[in-house]
């Protein structure tokens, strides 16, 4: 029985860290770009105020959930996700894209390892 547990423990240890958080990094990046698009379209007057408010609240909530699921919240990507969550609802699309772009760089780096 002990011999069967050792490989499982080793496997569990390997699944922690940035690789385990890759799905959350990807999700946060996608949410950041979506939020930027909402704010850009809102600034152009192409969306209703009610839709914009609902989307912003939903996106920020999803980002908060994503941030709380990280195995390494004090990492570079954790800091970037928290910075994204801290942005005001009406943040500039450029600022949101900057955060999302940094997450994309981190995501690409982890995927190439």
The 10s digit of each residue's pLDDT in 8-33 is 444 444 456 899 999 999 999 999 99
Of 66, 57, 72, 64, which Cα lies nearest the Cα of 16?
Answer: 72
Residue 39 lies in a domain: yes
pLDDT of residue 29: 98
Asked if residue 7 belongs to a domain, the reply is no
Give residues with Cβ within 8 angstroms of 105, minimum separation 6: none
pLDDT, average across residues 55-69: 97
The per-residue pLDDT for range 29-57, each reduced to its tens digit, is 999 999 999 999 999 999 999 999 999 99
31, part of any domain: yes
In a domain? residue 75? yes
The total domain count for the chain is: 1
Flag the least confident range among 4-18, 52-66, 86-100: 4-18
**Contacts (Cβ under 8 Å, ≥6 apart) of 101:** none
Provide the domain limits for residue 70. Answer: 20-112
Residue 58 lies in a domain: yes
Task: Evaluate if residue 113 carries a pLDDT over 90.
Answer: no
């Amino acid at each position: 029985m002990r011999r069967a547990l050792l490989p499982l423990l080793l496997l569990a240890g390997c699944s922690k860290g940035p690789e385990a958080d890759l799905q959350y990094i990807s999700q946060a990046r996608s949410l950041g770009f979506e939020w930027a698009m909402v704010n850009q379209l809102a600034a152009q007057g192409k969306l209703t105020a009610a839709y914009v408010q609902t989307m912003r609240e939903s996106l920020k909530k999803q980002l908060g959930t994503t941030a709380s699921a990280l195995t390494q919240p004090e990492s570079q990507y954790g800091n970037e996700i928290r910075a994204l969550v801290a942005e005001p609802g009406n943040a500039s699309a450029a600022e949101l894209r900057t955060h999302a772009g940094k997450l994309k760089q981190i995501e690409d780096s982890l995927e190439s390892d």
